[in-house]
Structure 1
Amino acid sequence: MPEKAMEGLDRRGFMTASIASAGAAAVLASNAGPAKAQDASASGGPRGTLYTGDVVDGKKVVSRLDVDDLAPGQRHLLYFQGVETPTGQHWYVSVTVVKGAKPGKRGVLVSGVHGDEMSSVHTVQTVMNQLNPAEMSGVVTAVTDVSRPAMESMQRRWPNAGRGADLIDMNREWPGNENGVTAVSRHAALLFNRLLRPNADFAIDFHTGTTGFEVAAFNIAGMDAPEVKAMAELYPVGQIFDNHVYPGVLHNAFMDVGIPSFTPEIGAARVLDVKMIDLFVEGTMNVLKHYGVVAGPMGRTGKDVSVFVGNSAFPILAAAGGLVEHLVKLNDKIEAGQKVAVQRNSFGEVVAEYTSGVAGVITGQRSDAMAEPGDPLAFILFNKATQEGVETYPE
């Protein structure tokens, strides 16, 4: 889910100033060597799969992947060599490639960009396990653990230690910089340049709510892009957030290079919501059928459910500390002025009451029972008459 206060922000406002500084770039470039030379691979530079010669758990390690090099009609399990750690090792990323017996479109499915989002991982795993390469046309490539250090502790952000202890949200770093000043930026660029972008005709980046905050089943999709609209509407889920959100998220990095992409949001963090996962598995299989990768009749789509499409999200933030009682549920329709939550202190006294400033539907709610001032308590998906600049949201 999005973060930061809701306000206009320049499209490149999230880019770290030190990355852009000429001095830092010059120093990094002088030390980069081969990494700098291969940064061009995403824009017509070197292609072809590069094997490092390492084998981890019986799986070959690659530092660049071209699915055209892999044998058709087979399932391929690989590790991708990600960013180098302070001890000189690497973070390895799990890659599953199911290559059909016949040529066709290439899809990329991504999860694990945030380390606490388990339902997104299970969704991708379930889709991949349903694919039969002998009956497919095209290729589906899946990455299920992009932010490995964050997943190790099941936390949202990557624990970066390059300049002291820091936590970095990887979904604000794409497409990254192979010579960037943080491990997260370099890792993002390695994956985007050498694994994701070169093998994608379309891409889906799966997420969930963050720890302490659950969301309804919905898709974040720029519906002004026809291919994106077509994909998002193939999911039997009740909400679509028609918004490009902000720069630095993975699906926008794909969109910026002409690859249609969007983000499904699948419930709460740190758990497996099996019923909700089933909806997104069904929708993703519909997308693969839409592109002719797999055959068969479509499952349920947005036409089979009542879909609310909104272009903005109204945040309700805690004004006090205390225990939160929600008066509405996810997917409930809300009127402007309707009371949605109350908050009590340790004596049980009501210290705050919260009402909606808009009419819409509940798309997210705080799942942690306690909140302090500034914590988001709810988001209401609604339609704003006019949109100016880029919207960002508190976490």
Structure 2
Amino acid sequence: MPSKPEESLDRRDFMVASIATIGASAVLAANAGSANAQDSATSSVSPAPGAPSATVYTGDTIQGKKVVTALDVNDLEPGQNHLLYFQGVEMPTGQHWYVSVTVARGAKPGKRVVLVSGVHGDEMSSIHTVQTVMNQLNPAQMSGTVMAVTDVARPAIEGMQRRWPNFGRGNDLIDMNREWPGNENGVTAPSRHAGLLFNRLLRPNSDAAVDFHTGTTGFDVSAFNIAGMDVPEIKAMVDLYPVGQIFDNHVYPGVLHNAFVDVGIPSFCAEVGAARVLDLEMISLFVEGTMNVLKHHGILAGPMGRTGKDVAVFIGNSAFPILATQGGLVEHLVKLNDKVEAGQKVAIQRNSFGEVVAEYTSSVAGEVTGQRSDAMAEPGNPLAFILFHKATPDGGESYPE
């Protein structure tokens, strides 16, 4: 895993540090070694991370779409949409997991923005958000490139479950959003998969990136963005979303948007409601904000849509968890986005006899940003998260993803 946020690059010196990563890329490339997860028949030499390399085709096609093991979007025909499969890590059978890649290559040169979804397998609204953005683009009228990856954790998506089922050391479930930037020679398949994608697909084709998520199964969240707002390039993008909450915190290492930031690529995480459903109303907010981001980077022309200036945005730098202390049915007394005061009762819990066994209050004043949607809970389950402002936020604290 990467170092903790406070030990990684100083984000206030963001652009200077990003230049330094160019020199470091040669060192990273040297570690690729002969144990690459990609077989030598397709590419015997690992590209230097972050440096565009020639696109490598395997010669295979899946449902009429060409398969690549490395991609440089500059190799693709301008003014067109391109649908590809990226060859990821091997399954236990020796076959590969393939990742869907859509590239809208503009007719004119310009910035490159990457949109990622499907890092968790139960996040359907995030996938639909990216698909909707891509379906609105006309490459013939664009300056620059937008690349979308919509099913990063394919084995998790096939079961519509959050974590990647891994069998390297017995039956295990691995959270793909704790694996970035990955390691092509890592111990687990998810680590290798993350390394392949980050080194050969995502990082080499990004000037900016947005990683789309939802709440986990059984837990609902509001529309909010997670971002290091002390980075001007990131703040400029986040402010373009007409959503009501911002979690201003660098959270912890291993998440994809931090892997981008750590190599000098401005990025943040968008949270689009609940898992396993399509929240079309909430999706529309993130589509509008993402189209604004593409206009901000000069990829699209035209006026901005609604932004954060058009809605009441609550900004907090910490998320206070309220955890169940008993087992039983949970009744929420507040809703998402509600303002709460310190000491306010937010939930009660009853046992099988209907007796109240616990009452839960907020220890902080803020806004509700996440709530357990499963009606039952056992001790230790998060019941709610309250977004609030903390004088000195903790590094690496949890959040309601």
Q: Shared fold (TM-score greater than 0.5)?
A: yes
2:320 corresponding residue in structure 1 = 314
Kindly indicate whether the alpha-carbon contact (under 8 Å) linking 2:5 and 2:396 is maintained by their aligned counterparts in 1: yes
Kindly indicate whether the alpha-carbon contact (under 8 Å) linking 1:215 and 1:365 is maintained by their aligned counterparts in 2: yes
Name the amino acid aligned to 1:41: A
Structure 2 residue 216 is the aligned partner of structure 1 residue 210: yes
1:10-34 Cα deviation digits (max 9, x unpaired): 5599xxxxxxxxxxxxxx9564485
Structure 2 residue 373 is the aligned partner of structure 1 residue 363: no
Paired with 1:392 and 1:233, the residues of 2 have a C-alpha distance of: 23
2:356 corresponding residue in structure 1 = 350
1:140 corresponding residue in structure 2 = 146
Name the amino acid aligned to 1:386: T
Name the amino acid aligned to 2:179: E
Q: Specify which of 253, 266, 289 is matched with residue 283 of structure 1.
A: 289
Paired with 2:170 and 2:106, the residues of 1 have a C-alpha distance of: 46
Kindly report which structure 2 residues correspond to 1:289-300, keeping only aligned pairs within 5 A, or say none: 289-300=295-306
Name the amino acid aligned to 1:196: L
Tell which deviates more after alignment, 320-329 or 379-388. 379-388
Kindly indicate whether the alpha-carbon contact (under 8 Å) linking 2:108 and 2:143 is maintained by their aligned counterparts in 1: yes
1:154-212 Cα deviation digits (max 9, x unpaired): 00000011111100000000000000010000000000000000000000000000000
CA shift for structure 1 position 387:
2.5
Kindly indicate whether the alpha-carbon contact (under 8 Å) linking 1:316 and 1:354 is maintained by their aligned counterparts in 2: yes
Kindly indicate whether the alpha-carbon contact (under 8 Å) linking 1:221 and 1:263 is maintained by their aligned counterparts in 2: yes
Q: Specify which of 312, 332, 336 is matched with residue 330 of structure 1.
A: 336
Kindly report which structure 2 residues correspond to 1:161-180, keeping only aligned pairs within 5 A, or say none: 161-180=167-186
How many residue pairs end up in the alignment? 372
Name the % identity: 78
Q: Specify which of 347, 364, 369 is matched with residue 341 of structure 1.
A: 347
1:16 corresponding residue in structure 2 = none
Instruction: Give the TM-score normalised by the residue count of structure 1.
Output: 0.91
1:42 corresponding residue in structure 2 = 49
CA shift for structure 1 position 386:
1.0
Paired with 1:38 and 1:182, the residues of 2 have a C-alpha distance of: 21
Does the C-alpha gap of structure 1 residues 250 and 381 become closer, same or farther in structure 2, counting only changes over 3 Å?
A: same
Q: Structure 2: where are the runs of 5+ without partners?
A: 8-31
Structure 2 residue 114 is the aligned partner of structure 1 residue 86: no
Kindly indicate whether the alpha-carbon contact (under 8 Å) linking 2:5 and 2:250 is maintained by their aligned counterparts in 1: no
1:52 corresponding residue in structure 2 = 58
Paired with 1:310 and 1:165, the residues of 2 have a C-alpha distance of: 38
2:252 corresponding residue in structure 1 = 246
Q: More relative contact order in 1 or in 2 (CA 8 Å, sep 6+)? A: 1
Aligned with 1:61: secondary structure? Answer: strand
CA shift for structure 1 position 86:
1.3
Does the C-alpha gap of structure 1 residues 322 and 242 become closer, same or farther in structure 2, counting only changes over 3 Å?
A: same
1:26-57 Cα deviation digits (max 9, x unpaired): xx95644859964442144x711000000000
Instruction: Give the TM-score normalised by the residue count of structure 2.
Output: 0.90
Aligned with 1:41: secondary structure? Answer: coil
Tell which deviates more after alignment, 112-121 or 379-388. 379-388
Does the C-alpha gap of structure 1 residues 193 and 236 become closer, same or farther in structure 2, counting only changes over 3 Å?
A: same
Name the amino acid aligned to 2:89: V
Q: Specify which of 226, 229, 247 is matched with residue 223 of structure 1.
A: 229
Kindly indicate whether the alpha-carbon contact (under 8 Å) linking 2:370 and 2:400 is maintained by their aligned counterparts in 1: no
Paired with 1:382 and 1:126, the residues of 2 have a C-alpha distance of: 32
